[in-house]
Structure 1
Amino acid sequence: MSQSYSQHTVEGIARVVRVDGQQLWLEPEQTTSCGHCASSASCSAHSQEAAGMGTVASRLQARRFMITAPAADAYHEGERLVVGIGEQALLRAALTAYGLPLAGALLGGALCQGLYGEDLISMLGMAGGLAAGLLAARLRAGRLAARGELSPRVLRRARPDETCATV
């Protein structure tokens, strides 16, 4: 948990939707691409009461996340915050989520192909390797989460004109 966030962080803007003790519930802001398509006039994504299945509002609600912040009571609902996570933690998470299952599948398939030389057995080896890789990824993600490496941190309050869009 002694990770430095002064450099090399991936930042995003999130809105506080609930303050509960030392916990902040945040919802990531919609990027600037929303509302710039040809059907933006008929889209219900900007309506607060439109949270039906498949809408942007329901997808944002599903993306809500919690951050433990010692001074959480200093923040208010509706406030915009800049949150960040270290690049190394993000890289470790991506390699865990994608690299381990992929490596397991390829290794299982290659071993079975080398040992038996039959496609069906190689495919079964790949499926077994994928399952082993997914299990390894789940265990590693649990360890990373327990150490707090996957948790974003509140970096600062967002300026009114600040966006996380890249052009």
Structure 2
Amino acid sequence: MHIDDKVLKKFQKGTLDSKELIEVLKHLDTCSFCTDRWMELENEEMIQAPSYLKEDILKRVHKADVQVNIHIKKTSKKTELFFYSLKTTAAVLGALILLISISYVNTTERLLDYKDKASPSVSISEKLNEKSNEIVDIMTYFSNQIINGGKN
């Protein structure tokens, strides 16, 4: 014996008591006809979209304001990628400058040490050393700002 459509509708709405619910579930588990009928009732009660909806959506997509929003989203992604690559490039350049300046400072210190041994002009070497240390500090700060995205 098959389940009545009224009982299937109550089952869909969840208004069956626990005893009836168990019986319906057991029957649906074994009867493919009732299961198919239940699926048909489910499909009948589904809300259908209006036939004009697809046309309205397609017309709306081609309007200028929607196209502008789409273009803005694409452009913002490209801009984001561009700024990320600029930050990366600046960080690499900063690192290279630091490496070069450190080797330059070491070479300058060796030359100054040599000159110090040859002549006692200490004030020039101290000033050069201070200025080169200031440059290294500035470059370190600059590279940290680039790496951290301008955040402290």
The TM-score normalised by the length of structure 1 is 0.25
**Which has a greater percent of helix?**
2
TM-score by length of 2: 0.27
Whichever structure has more strand as a proportion of its residues is 1
